[in-house]
Amino acid sequence: MANVFDVLKERGFIAQCTDEEGVRELLGKESVTFYTGFDPTADSLHVGHFLGLMAMSHMQRAGHRPVCLVGGGTGTVGDPSGRTDMRRMLTDEDIEHNCDCFKKQIARFIDFSEGKALMVNNGDWLRKLNYIELLREVGAHFTVNRMLSAEAYKTRWEKGLTFLEFNYMVMQAYDFLELSHRCGCKLQMGGDDQWSNIIAGVELIRRKEAKPAYGLTFTLLTKSDGQKMGKTAGGALWLDAEKTSPYDFYQYWRNIDDADVEKCLALLTFLPMEEVRRLGALRDAAINEAKTVLAYEVTKLVHGEAEAKKAKEGAEAMFGRGAASAELPTFTLTAEEMGAKLLDILAKNGVFSSKSEGRRLISQGGVTLNDARVTDADYRLQEEDFSDGTALVKKGKKKHYRLVKA
């Protein structure tokens, strides 16, 4: 069997690693216990988490043991990484509820049968810590100079980094130390925005325990233009079917930019790389075959085969002989209008009598784009909104319109 490190590298997961040769050797010679953390900032995981779950699943398939950590403790502080403002403070009830939701969703992707994986909550140990004891036992191994140079804190300078958030790195590092004691965890994995926090844990174990520990980050899910992937007219692309329907989820992947197809097939499906490369090499109209495969495979993993089939059939009906027929009122968008506000386009073409009417309808949930409810009156049209150059708008229950790229 191929070394899973090589598998992750070939598929494009690996962004940074504390010791590439050391990690590869370790993964090749023994079953390694590793962990990834999920802070309960919402009541559902989103597509960014899904990429991490795919990496964990590859590791588990290769015989390694995942520890899925939900942040019942770190969630009380909030990770400042990549943020310009402070996260909303959650109540203990919110955190507990969100952790429970995460556990149910993670269990769909990771096998928790006897001995194969662990689910832990860092609230079990972080909430019991004595502050003075933590300062003496752990704080002595951190230098403020080093912490302040971390990328995780730089984006918070403008509005001010609170002492509450400053402690986040120490808490995450302590998690790694605790899991090293509890279950022999040797490797922490996470998104590349967690690099500073992961290094802190690796260095804490080495200094305090004088034993090796490793860190590995996977690439963040971004579009070819560098923007984060997973934003839709209705907000984030959630894994919970109640928050993002399987149909909307399918449509998102069916409509992504041509340049992102091969990367998403490699990261978000288990298709062999030969097939990924074949599909990724398709051009022009033929690339739609690859997008259909991507949408079906990702939806099947997240929502199950039955929902994936339903979504595929629904999309084909709508964009084939159904609502996207030539009989619908059709508006052609110029190249300059791509990126414009949907509200402006619809008002300009008489769908709304005025922009204020449009804003009112959107606030009431009366406008959908490709069957996804539009919640932001300032939403701007994106390339991925157009499947085969077409997007469908519904006003109320009965009025349908078609937008076509020039």
- CATH for 292: 1.10.240.10
For residue 65, give every residue at least 6 positions away whose Cβ sits within 8 Å of its Cβ, in sequence order, or none. Answer: 31, 32, 33, 34, 115, 116, 117, 118
Which residues sit opposite 401 in a β-bridge? Answer: 393
Q: Are residues 95 and 178 in the same domain?
A: yes
Binding-site residues for L-tyrosine, in ranges, read: 35, 168, 172
Identify whether residues 194 and 338 lie together within a single domain.
Answer: no
Work out the angle between the directed axes of helices 273-280 and 287-303 (0-180°, nearest 10).
140
226 within domain boundaries: no
Provide the 3-class DSSP secondary structure of residue 232.
Answer: strand
Same domain assignment for residues 113 and 178: yes
The reply to whether 173 and 290 lie within a common domain is: no
Structural domain including 64 reads 4-218
CATH number at residue 163: 3.40.50.620
Q: What residue spans of 112-255 are helical by DSSP H?
A: 123-126, 131-137, 144-148, 151-154, 163-166, 168-183, 195-209, 246-254
In a domain, 165, yes or no: yes
Residues 57 and 150 placed together within one structural domain of the fold: yes
Whole-angstrom distance, CA of residue 76 vs CA of residue 397: 42
Residues 292 and 350 in one domain: no
Residue 223: inside a domain? no
Enumerate the H helices of 17-118 as residue ranges: 20-29, 47-61, 92-106
User: Which residues have CB under 8 Å from 214's CB, separation 6+?
Assistant: 17, 18, 19, 22, 23, 26, 186, 187, 188, 202
Same structural domain, 18 and 76: yes
Annotated binding residues for ATP, written as ranges, equal 231
pTM for the full model? 0.79
Q: Which residues are annotated as a binding site?
A: 35, 168, 172, 231
Answer with the one of 321, 356, 375 that is the final residue of a domain.
321
How many domains, the chain?
A: 3
277 and 211 together in one domain: no
The tens-digit pLDDT sequence of the chain (406 residues) is 789 999 999 999 999 999 999 999 999 999 999 999 998 989 999 999 999 999 999 999 999 999 999 999 888 887 666 554 556 678 889 988 998 999 999 999 999 999 999 999 999 999 999 989 888 889 888 888 888 878 767 766 767 788 878 888 999 999 999 999 999 999 999 999 999 999 999 999 999 999 999 999 999 999 888 888 887 666 789 999 999 889 889 989 998 999 999 999 999 999 999 999 999 999 988 998 999 999 999 999 999 999 999 888 877 776 654 444 445 678 888 888 888 999 999 998 888 988 999 999 999 988 988 878 899 999 999 888 887 778 889 888 767 788 888 7
364 and 278 part of one domain = no
**Do 383 and 242 sit in the same domain of this protein?**
no
C-alpha–C-alpha distance, residues 377 and 344, integer Å: 9
